[in-house]
Amino acid sequence: MLILKTFGLYILTALAEIIGCYLPYLVIKQNKSVYLLIPAILSLMAFVWLLSLHPAAAGRVYAAYGGVYIVVAFGWLFLVDRVNLTTWDITGALIITLGAAVIMLQPDFST
């Protein structure tokens, strides 16, 4: 159960970061309303807060989070940007997921 909770927290963290960066992108690149910057700021604040909820040491959290972020970004690319993923994208995402899982699931030898 802890594994699912941790992984879910990583996914929420990644979504908060992606949304916080995607909305300013829309303002700058697609001339969308500047008011999109308000939810972007709130989303980035949520990202920072969510990142602080992870129980592991910060560096380890950031390393594992990086892998999850990449996989979630590919999901965003496919679902939101409507870009088909290549075999290279999928293979890379599988490799990165394995690496993030090794970091997240390591035994706790501190006790």
Mean pLDDT of 44-55: 89
The reported pTM is 0.82
Provide CB contacts within 8 A for 25, sequence distance 6+.
none
pLDDT digits (tens, 9 = 90+) for 34-46: 999 999 999 999 9
More confident residue, 1 or 71: 71
Q: Which amino acid is residue 9, in one-letter code?
A: L
Rg (CA), the chain: 16
Count CA atoms within 13 Å of residue 51 on its CB side: 21
- Cβ atoms 103, 6 nearer than 8 A: no
